[in-house]
Amino acid sequence: MDRHPFRIAVEDDDETAAFALLHDDVEFRSPVVYRPYQGKPAVAHLLHHAKATLRGLTYLDEMHGDRSVALIFRAQVGDKEVEGLDHLTLDEDGRIVGFRVMIRPLSGLVAVAQEMGARLEDDPVPDA
């Protein structure tokens, strides 16, 4: 099975290609905040900081559904190893309209929340 273009962009460290796959009205659901983030500028901003937070991110597996892709990953956050899943929902043109992240274990999720929180305090998410 072919790798999804988002996975390829992340593995190639190509933010421009990754962000080009986002629909203008993409919705991002984070494991640490209740309300989703809306819009391409906000989601691209979050993904930029997530890339710096989730060091050594490696995709381990990929599953395809009807207009959806699940990407299983492993990464390092500080001294914590985390595992997670990026669940992408696609429109009819293959653009990402929904991006949901899940992370385990809880101690790793807390580390992600703390580091992302500090980054976003210094560089807030733009208004959509």
Q: Is 127 domain-assigned?
A: no
pLDDT tens, residue by residue, 2-59: 899 999 999 999 999 999 999 999 999 999 888 899 999 999 999 999 999 999 999 9
Percent of the chain with pLDDT over 70: 98
* Structural domain span for residue 11: 5-122
Q: Is 84 domain-assigned?
A: yes
pLDDT at 128 over 70: no
80-90 sheet: strands from edge to edge: 37-38, 22-29, 96-104, 80-90, 68-77, 55-65
Q: Is 35 domain-assigned?
A: yes
pLDDT at 125 over 80: yes
**Domain containing residue 96: CATH number:** 3.10.450.50
pTM above 0.85, yes or no: yes
The average confidence (pLDDT) of the chain is 95
Number of structural domains the chain divides into:
1
Q: Is 36 domain-assigned?
A: yes
pLDDT tens, residue by residue, 64-119: 999 999 999 999 999 999 999 999 999 999 999 999 999 999 999 999 999 999 99
Q: Is 128 domain-assigned?
A: no
